[in-house]
Structure 1
């Protein structure tokens, strides 16, 4: 006969298992009810979608290449000094307008003047010696000719005649030597006169003083390198803009193309320019290759200054009367509609098969390249795809070269989700 304690223990364990199963089932049912209610609430409280639209337009499309650079004078001259010495006076200052030949500064000329006086005296002495040598030559020439006639008649000894001939030849050599001394003295005088003239620094051009690097009383030393005393710019009404064009864009930039640029000093003003030339020599900095382009700039009101940083837009192509679509429409893809089917709350939470999406690959390469793309319009309040062929773009709008599109047609560029009240 079984022990009463064993019977009671077995009964108690059975009751506990049944109570545990009831609690688990109740908990699962409660979770399902809460989940279904939450899903229903989420679906009921879902929002609607509004589409942001734009219109297809017709107009001119301007393609530009952007580059940055600095403004420089057409002709900039560094004025230096070839002599060493003390600066006596400085007669111009920064921003002064100067004329060609105008005195800019003067060096002390005391020693240079003394040298000129000394060499001029030496030159005069050399010329006097030359005249003396010429006179002597004439005298010995006459004596030589007279003795020559007597010697031929044997009225004069041959020895005396040879002595007269040697004296005559020495007189000829003395004249040649005196001429050489005159040339040397004249060269020395000319060199000293040139040095004296270089002590007066004059402007080589008509222009404006950009920099002054000298003061009165300063000593300049012209040894291995000429000291630069002034920097002059010629006619700032004509300037040049030097910009660096990226190697990807240099093939589109050509001489005579128009351009416009801005400077930080006048951010609300556009200045006109035109390409003069594009250099073939590359500029490489940190593995970035650029090519320098030179633009001509008219600066009649003198508001532009050398060294200003400018951002230029070079017009490389203009398409007249083009059909244009905003670039936002080319990037837009409408959201996929939710699947409307009856499922249980649990089924809607279970992971299903992954939806396949079509990725729109970005288009790289030449902006002039023709390519197939898709835009979206509204028909019966639903997005409808329209295939088009596009051409050039300026980064904001793109040319439509073909497709069932006309000016004024509304296209989708974005979607805005709003919550139901």
Structure 2
């Protein structure tokens, strides 16, 4: 009996301990719940909001000329190397032609042969003309037959035809000879413009192909580095916001500490599609940006990042970007939803299924979250314009991201982060 009493007492004390521990735990959880969600806050303020479209691309000169030869042959002279500054009509390359000299001799011989043929046929024309006159006089006096007259006339006409043909042959030979002589003069290549040699791809002794035969060998590139552009690819969703004359801020990877000003001068009308037909398909439009404050350190082909300022609204109400979120207000306007409202809510949701959820912000209302509908405008990288729904000096909840985007509900208790609590008062 004593053992049973002892066992009962132990069980009783264990139950009491469980109840006490449970009560303490519940009290701690309730205390933490009562403290509310930890958040940061910021005051609504006025500022200038500039909408930015970002893109990446390359630095390229406004004018760049590829230098090739019309004649094929061996490079026997080079007048410039990479990085050299050249002037208009400065000799760049001289080529010893492989075929020009041979062709020149052939066409000169052909022209001489054609001239000899003309002289021979001309003499034949004179002879047949004299025969025709003689036979014609005899035919009139009936000392020559009709057959003899017709034969003399035919011989004269044939000689005239051969004479005209030989003249045509001579003209063709002379024309071909002139063309070869022109090609012979083009074995020396001169600079077509002032600029800098940005690329030289041949060396002395190399054989090059001329453009007279095929595409030809590119030997050099000359660029005017005094006028530079940034060629960037802008996403199809952003291109509608970009217009001629927009200001751009260009940052070159090689000059990370310097921001270069540019102006949009051209926007492509045709798209560039990368990875067509795949899940990674991307559609961009090329935008040309003229570099205004050119830097001598810029080089063609340098990578760059560009921020195009497409629109600016000045002195407008704004809040941090992370303060604005979306909510299905039917489920968030009240912490308790009765079964009688569920059907109406579902019907309302179906009607609004194709509509964009309304934008909202949460205000700090005596340590309670107050959800307010807002109309937004432009945004930059940190703030977004508020067109309606808020007044200046109101205090919005700006973080954390999870709290604003998911956790907070209208009327929920909040706890202001002590490190951020009075930040807005210092502004």
Q: 2:287 aligns with which of 282, 294, 318?
A: 294
Q: 2:270 aligns with which of 270, 273, 280?
A: 280
Cα distance change on mapping 1:111 and 1:239 into 2, 3 Å? same
Distance 1:66 1:245 in 2: 7
Cα distance change on mapping 1:154 and 1:99 into 2, 3 Å? farther
Cα distance change on mapping 1:160 and 1:48 into 2, 3 Å? closer
* Cα-to-partner distance string for 1:369-418 (whole Å, 9 max, x where unaligned): 99542331455xx4463635232222421212123502x44444343168
Q: 2:12 aligns with which of 17, 25, 30?
A: 25
Paired residues, number: 372
CA apart distance, 1:252: 2.4
Q: Which residue of 1 aligns with 2:231?
A: 242
Distance 2:3 2:126 in 1: 159
Asked whether the equivalents of residues 196 and 222 of structure 2 are also in contact (C-alpha less than 8 Å), the reply is: yes
Q: Which residue of 1 aligns with 2:160?
A: 172
Distance 2:113 2:29 in 1: 119
Cα distance change on mapping 1:371 and 1:317 into 2, 3 Å? farther
CA apart distance, 1:95: 2.0
Distance 1:290 1:34 in 2: 62
Asked whether the equivalents of residues 332 and 413 of structure 1 are also in contact (C-alpha less than 8 Å), the reply is: no
* Cα-to-partner distance string for 1:289-332 (whole Å, 9 max, x where unaligned): 22222223136444322111111122232223311122244369
Distance 2:148 2:226 in 1: 83
* TM-score of the superposed pair, with normalisation by structure 1: 0.74
Q: Which residue of 2 aligns with 1:6?
A: none
Question: Which piece of structure 1 moves more, 38-47 or 304-313?
Answer: 38-47
Cα distance change on mapping 1:230 and 1:208 into 2, 3 Å? farther
Cα distance change on mapping 1:141 and 1:411 into 2, 3 Å? same
Q: Give unmatched runs, 5+ long, in structure 1.
A: 1-13, 334-354, 358-364
CA apart distance, 1:179: 0.8
Asked whether the equivalents of residues 133 and 174 of structure 1 are also in contact (C-alpha less than 8 Å), the reply is: yes
CA apart distance, 1:176: 1.8
Asked whether the equivalents of residues 209 and 217 of structure 2 are also in contact (C-alpha less than 8 Å), the reply is: no
For the aligned residue pairs, the C-alpha RMSD in angstroms reads: 3.8
Distance 2:114 2:252 in 1: 66
Distance 1:247 1:60 in 2: 26
Asked whether the equivalents of residues 332 and 375 of structure 1 are also in contact (C-alpha less than 8 Å), the reply is: no
Asked whether the equivalents of residues 49 and 316 of structure 2 are also in contact (C-alpha less than 8 Å), the reply is: yes
Q: 2:198 aligns with which of 210, 218, 228?
A: 210
**2:391 is the alignment partner of 1:405:** yes
Return the structure number with greater strand share.
1
Cα distance change on mapping 1:149 and 1:294 into 2, 3 Å? farther
| Secondary structure of the structure 1 residue equivalent to 2:270 | strand
CA apart distance, 1:233: 4.1
Distance 2:191 2:52 in 1: 41
Cα distance change on mapping 1:24 and 1:33 into 2, 3 Å? same
Distance 2:252 2:299 in 1: 10
Distance 1:309 1:51 in 2: 41
CA apart distance, 1:25: 2.0
Query: Superposition pairs for residues 157-196 of structure 1, below 5 Å?
Result: 157-196=145-184
Asked whether the equivalents of residues 150 and 156 of structure 1 are also in contact (C-alpha less than 8 Å), the reply is: yes
Q: Which residue of 1 aligns with 2:258?
A: 269
Cα distance change on mapping 1:163 and 1:331 into 2, 3 Å? closer
Q: Give unmatched runs, 5+ long, in structure 2.
A: 328-334, 338-353, 400-415, 420-427
Cα distance change on mapping 1:33 and 1:145 into 2, 3 Å? same
* TM-score of the superposed pair, with normalisation by structure 2: 0.73
Cα distance change on mapping 1:413 and 1:94 into 2, 3 Å? same
Q: 2:305 aligns with which of 287, 305, 311?
A: 311
